[in-house]
């Protein structure tokens, strides 16, 4: 027998043996491992997303509604093609909800595109859900007879604190030959034997991280992005885990015969500043100074419209530290202003990837989605490429996204249409002859007619607040203005626009929004208080006093009342001092008296009040005011000089002399004060009293 025939015979014999063994294991009841579990993370507990609604259907658990849309569908899907959309807040539909998400658009458009089939589209996108939580959720969803999973995941991979003690290697069960072998009972039986002998199935080299049942982000534990610092090794492991999770999703879907369609994660490059920047670790003091000098020079040159020189300087700074995210973003903006689009895009991408607080999917993640789709035979909609095509200058920005990652309603619709087109190409959808721009426009008109503009404006307001909290004030104000334009008759929306304008330094706009807020809701305490602060800064003291009073009257908590009471006292002090200086002494006395009642013991207020009381001949009251002021500020020669004057005019000459002597001891310069005791007495024509005091003081 020739060698080739022996080889063929051996292969056939081996295959026959394995088939017989596989059959024996079938009879023995051995079941295959349908998909791999996640060896890198565990969860303290899990609860189901969908629960029995009591009428033969399933609905979103009330406990999950803070992170998920309310969705309902029949328990039996035998006559429908069931699609689950999974992922994070983009899938959810933020800043709005399912209605205008790409998932919601798919639900509305599919019956028009292909009316021959009954469609069920369920939005299972969870706010802040990373790929490992999406994969875990899919373990539940495969119980509901899915036909297709649409996966949009990648922006949340760095949200939760976790560690990877060892370098991640993708298990064989989710790649190559191992994936095929894992479907056999032989593989399962051998794995069980190995695990029972070695204990490999019950332990890792180190224990995996155990996360809370629901998302608890790093941003929840700290003030904004300050919880993050550069960690390149961790970032590499997160990317490896992301690849593992995507492959696992395909395996989970395949375990029940469902298909997987991936959507690459796109983000705002041109108009989303990095959340946090850090210099490269080895930057020395001299290099940092050169870096700062180059950046400052670039900004100055930009203000002078010398763009070529500005770009040269910013490129110089980038050479010194190519890892500084904010610098890369500024570089991108300058290059974009000069219409050097390819260079600008590279800089914006570097700004995204060097962001110390990476709340946008990193560049390598897009390539991971593409490669996993090819390797695992999943369908792909390349939103990253589509976003480039749809943007005004081939760099996605505010024209496509509300913020750093959340697409506009129009872009969600476009993504949905791209998904349906891909489903048609793969044979899932049989496009109807009536499917055209007019039929799509009819769906759009129907959906938009059902939208509540106030609800959407409030959603934009909420997103504006999040960006403001993260320190992105200009972006926050842009969204706040959009919310006002959408629904201007809501005091909360006007107030948020005022607050974001205020924080962004747009004080005139802030005043306008605050005024509108209190016009709509006269008992809104916060707008009254903030408006009063800006009016006080602008010198409109009477108006400021008016709004501080209203803020106190309508205060909804003690903290607000206390803060605005302090503001009222401050405004009364300033207004009273101005009245006094302009000769309106009775008005000054009234305001300063009220200020002192609000803030008893405040030495500045009491000092001003004492002067006003003297001017009105209330010498005893002035003495009392200056005495109280000195309790708070006992080493003030200014107050001692004024108290001495009040005492002298009140007939307490001995004490006046003693007090003035104490003032001189603290500061001999008291003799030169504009309101020096003797100078004032001379101006008042009280030379006799001045002489008596001179004798007692010894001057």
Q: In terms of domains, do 316 and 414 share one?
A: no
Q: In terms of domains, do 615 and 513 share one?
A: no
Q: Does an H or E element contain 419, and which? A: helix 409-425
Give domain status of residue 255, yes or no: yes
What per-residue confidence (pLDDT) applies to 684?
87
CA distances from 39 to 87, 128, 302, 371, 434 (A): 21, 21, 52, 22, 49
What per-residue confidence (pLDDT) applies to 79?
87
- Give me the CATH number covering residue 481: 1.25.40.10
DSSP 8-state class, residue 160: B
Chain position carrying tokens 């081996």? 14
Q: In terms of domains, do 399 and 508 share one?
A: no
Q: In terms of domains, do 372 and 470 share one?
A: no
Q: In terms of domains, do 184 and 101 share one?
A: yes
Answer whether 89's CB lies under 8 Å from 127's CB. yes
Q: In terms of domains, do 59 and 143 share one?
A: yes
Answer whether 371's CB lies under 8 Å from 360's CB. no
Closest residue by Cα to residue 155 from 371, 407, 436: 407
Cα 460 from Cα 453, distance rounded (Å): 10
Number of other residues whose CB lies within 10 A of the CB of residue 643 = 28
Angle at 667 between CA 665 and CA 670, to 5 degrees: 110
What per-residue confidence (pLDDT) applies to 218?
63
Give domain status of residue 4, yes or no: no
Last residue of a domain, one of 408, 432, 451: 451
Structural domain boundaries enclosing 662: 601-697
Q: In terms of domains, do 115 and 198 share one?
A: yes
Q: In terms of domains, do 605 and 663 share one?
A: yes
Last residue of a domain, one of 552, 575, 599: 599
What per-residue confidence (pLDDT) applies to 30?
43
Query: What are the start-end ranges of the H helices in 32-97?
Result: 89-92
What per-residue confidence (pLDDT) applies to 18?
53
Angle between helices 341-353 and 325-337 (to 10 degrees): 160
What per-residue confidence (pLDDT) applies to 551?
97
Q: In terms of domains, do 78 and 156 share one?
A: yes
Last residue of a domain, one of 521, 546, 561: 521
Q: In terms of domains, do 291 and 263 share one?
A: no
Give domain status of residue 21, yes or no: no
Q: In terms of domains, do 468 and 371 share one?
A: no
Q: In terms of domains, do 314 and 368 share one?
A: no
**Residue-by-residue DSSP string for 86-149:** EESHHHHTTTS-GGGSHHHHHHHHHHHH-TTS-EEEEEEE-TT--HHHHHHHHHHHGGG--SEE
Domain count, the chain: 5
At residue 260, the 3 state secondary structure works out as strand
At residue 308, the 3 state secondary structure works out as helix
Cα 275 from Cα 476, distance rounded (Å): 13
Cα 483 from Cα 516, distance rounded (Å): 14
Closest residue by Cα to residue 174 from 236, 229, 242, 251: 251
What per-residue confidence (pLDDT) applies to 21?
54
Polymer length of the chain: 699
- Give me the CATH number covering residue 220: 3.40.50.1110
What per-residue confidence (pLDDT) applies to 78?
75
Consecutive 10-residue averages of pLDDT for the chain (699 residues):
57 56 51 64 81 93 96 89 97 96 98 96 97 96 97 95 64 46 51 47 54 68 74 94 96 97 98 95 96 97 96 97 97 96 97 96 98 97 98 94 96 98 96 93 94 93 89 92 96 97 95 98 97 97 97 94 96 96 94 95 93 92 93 92 90 90 90 88 87 80
Give domain status of residue 299, yes or no: yes
């Amino acid at each position: 027998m020739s060698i080739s025939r022996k080889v063929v015979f051996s292969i056939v014999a081996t295959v026959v043996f394995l088939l017989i063994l596989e059959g024996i294991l079938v009879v023995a009841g051995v079941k295959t491992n349908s998909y791999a579990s996640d060896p890198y993370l565990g969860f303290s507990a899990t609860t189901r997303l969908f629960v029995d609604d009591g009428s033969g259907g399933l609905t979103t658990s009330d406990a999950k509604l803070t992170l998920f849309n309310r969705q309902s569908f029949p328990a039996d899907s035998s006559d429908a093609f069931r699609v689950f959309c999974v992922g994070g807040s983009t899938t959810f539909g933020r800043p709005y909800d399912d209605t205008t998400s790409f998932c919601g658009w798919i639900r509305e458009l599919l019956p028009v595109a292909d009316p021959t089939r009954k469609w069920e589209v369920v939005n299972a996108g969870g706010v802040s859900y990373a790929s490992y939580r999406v994969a875990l959720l899919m373990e539940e969803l495969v119980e509901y007879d899915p036909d297709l999973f649409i996966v949009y995941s990648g922006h949340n991979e760095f949200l939760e604190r976790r560690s990877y003690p060892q370098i991640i290697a993708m298990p064989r069960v989710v790649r190559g030959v191992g994936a095929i072998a894992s479907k056999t009972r032989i593989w399962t039986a051998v794995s069980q034997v190995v695990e029972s002998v070695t204990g490999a199935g019950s332990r890792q080299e180190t224990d995996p991280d155990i996360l809370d049942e629901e998302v608890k982000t790093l941003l929840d534990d700290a003030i904004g992005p300050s919880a993050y610092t550069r960690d390149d090794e961790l970032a590499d492991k997160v990317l490896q885990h992301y690849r593992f999770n995507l492959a696992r999703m395909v395996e989970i879907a395949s375990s029940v015969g469902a298909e997987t369609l991936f959507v690459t994660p796109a983000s705002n490059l041109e108009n989303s500043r990095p959340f946090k920047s850090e210099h490269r670790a080895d930057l020395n003091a001299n290099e940092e100074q050169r870096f700062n000098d180059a950046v400052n020079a670039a900004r100055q040159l930009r203000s002078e419209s010398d763009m070529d020189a500005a770009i040269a300087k910013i490129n110089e700074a980038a050479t010194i530290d190519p890892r500084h995210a904010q610098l890369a973003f500024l570089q991108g903006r300058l290059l974009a202003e000069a219409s050097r689009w390819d260079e600008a895009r590279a800089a914006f991408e570097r700004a995204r990837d060097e962001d110390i607080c990476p709340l946008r999917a990193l560049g390598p993640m897009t390539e991971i989605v593409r490669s996993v789709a090819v390797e695992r035979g999943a369908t792909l909609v390349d939103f990253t490429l589509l976003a480039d095509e749809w943007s005004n200058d081939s760099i996605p920005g505010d024209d496509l996204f509300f913020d750093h990652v959340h697409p506009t309603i129009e872009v969600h619709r476009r993504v949905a249409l791209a998904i349906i087109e891909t489903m048609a190409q793969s044979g899932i959808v049989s496009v109807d002859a009536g499917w055209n721009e007019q039929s799509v426009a009819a769906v759009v008109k129907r959906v938009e007619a059902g939208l509540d503009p106030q609800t959407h404006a409030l959603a934009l307001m909420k997103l504006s607040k999040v960006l403001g909290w993260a320190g992105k004030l200009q972006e926050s104000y842009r969204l706040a203005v959009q919310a006002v334009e959408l629904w201007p008759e809501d005091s909360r929306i006007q107030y948020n626009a005022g607050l974001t304008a205020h924080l962004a330094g747009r004080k005139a706009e802030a005043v306008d929004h605050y005024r509108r807020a209190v016009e709509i809701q006269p008992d809104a305490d916060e707008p009254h208080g903030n408006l009063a602060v800006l009016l006080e800064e602008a010198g409109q003291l009477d108006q400021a006093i008016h709004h501080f009073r209203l803020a106190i009257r309508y205060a909804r908590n003690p903290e607000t009342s206390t803060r605005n009471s302090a503001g009222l006292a401050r405004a009364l002090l300033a207004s009273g001092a101005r009245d006094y200086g302009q000769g309106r002494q009775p008005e000054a006395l009234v305001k300063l008296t009220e200020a002192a009642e609000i803030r008893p013991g405040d030495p500045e207020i009491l000092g001003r009040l004492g002067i006003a009381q003297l001017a009105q001949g209330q010498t005893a009251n002035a003495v009392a005011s200056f005495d109280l002021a000195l309790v708070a500020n006992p080493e003030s020669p200014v107050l001692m000089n004024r108290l001495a004057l009040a005492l002298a005019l009140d007939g307490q000459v001995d004490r006046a002399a003693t007090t003035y002597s104490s003032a001189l001891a603290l500061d001999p310069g008291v003799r030169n004060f504009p309101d020096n005791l003797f100078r004032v007495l001379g101006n008042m024509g009280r030379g006799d009293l001045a002489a008596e005091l001179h004798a007692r003081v010894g001057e």
